[in-house]
Structure 1
């Protein structure tokens, strides 16, 4: 076995913030203390490593001593918890208008994925893959953001 250490280039305050959100979620759903493989702090680190480096979940889980299935669950849980913190589009635009900004920037990115296999029907009743991008010729999720003129994301 080869031991390895790695550095995560995010502020400790961010890890602690995500850990607090995860702790609140665990209380809300009634998770008993000591029943999870990772503490909220280490789950937050694992999730931020995944966001930062895009590690394969099997490799990510192995690095933190959890199974692939547990890594998937922990990442999905954290994404849900973080997504619940976002303002609605209306709230974000209202805040920008109140701050006096003259305009906002809308931008997006297609993130590759191999885990989305949902099909939908077109207007002509053809079955197509909902997450397939013809432009990129690959599967992916289109994530869009609205930013203030100074580049700070608001939604």
Structure 2
């Protein structure tokens, strides 16, 4: 089956696909979108709030282009873009705060949290060298934004920070997100060697200049620390289960924070990390 009503160019091959997200999450988002429409006095839409919620979740899960998402439906690409941006704004507005994460973690009886950083890739905008290099990560050798994640001891994603330029190192990004002030005073904070020197963070030991090897005690301590810290990589994987932060963002890097916060809200709705 084909549909050429959207684009006068090559015809679109339309197919059905699934998105592994609960109907309860879709209905919750649809209620929030409908309430926003009512508050704004905008009562008429070509498609209802349930369609808009489904569209937003599908975009964040699959990262299809707006044209690809618009092809099966009798709406323009610009309308599809507006629907998705409104849905993302509603999700990002309800993202959990780090202070609430720490409060709930203490209530759950956890002794420490894990912090790690990940690169969300973006396309390069502009021709000037300076803005492009600002978002270029030398570690990953690509353009992107640095996002800090805070996870439970078992690696469950709890919180994600605002996006910073990809050239920002992890310890600087953690300081700008004020993670030490909000976490380390109440709970332990485990991190890798990239956070060496971060206030309140427990990291591994690094060989000193001129030292050939770590002492047996230091090596044993590093091994125990690595076993406790390594589940934090699972949190990054949970963030990138949503394809938008896993593949190249087609928006400007300044809009990446809303995408990350929207994904975080959906993750909490689906996983319920603080539910026993």
1:87 aligns with 2:90: no
Instruction: Quote the offset at 1:98 in angstroms.
Output: 2.4
CA-atom RMSD, angstroms?
A: 2.5
Instruction: Quote the offset at 1:30 in angstroms.
Output: 2.3
Q: Which runs of 5+ in 2 are unaligned?
A: 3-12, 160-276
Moved over 4 A (4+): none
Name whichever structure is richer in helix by fraction.
2
1:21 aligns with 2:32: yes
Task: Count matched residues.
Answer: 146
C-alpha distance in 1 between matches for 2:28 and 2:125: 29
Q: Which runs of 5+ in 1 are unaligned?
A: 120-125
CA contact (8 A) 1:116 1:140 kept: no
C-alpha distance in 2 between matches for 1:51 and 1:29: 25
Q: TM-score when scaled to structure 1?
A: 0.77
1:150 aligns with 2:159: no
Instruction: Quote the offset at 1:41 in angstroms.
Output: 0.6
C-alpha distance in 2 between matches for 1:75 and 1:63: 16
Aligned counterparts, 1:58-69, within 5 A: 58-69=67-78
| 1:139 match | 143
CA contact (8 A) 2:110 2:153 kept: yes
C-alpha distance in 1 between matches for 2:76 and 2:89: 20
1:58 partner SS: helix
C-alpha distance in 2 between matches for 1:57 and 1:92: 34
Q: Which has the larger radius of gyration?
A: 2
1:44 to 45, 49, 53: 53
Q: TM-score when scaled to structure 2?
A: 0.46
Instruction: Quote the offset at 1:89 in angstroms.
Output: 1.4
Which structure would you say has the larger RCO, counting Cα contacts within 8 Å and 6 or more residues apart?
Answer: 2
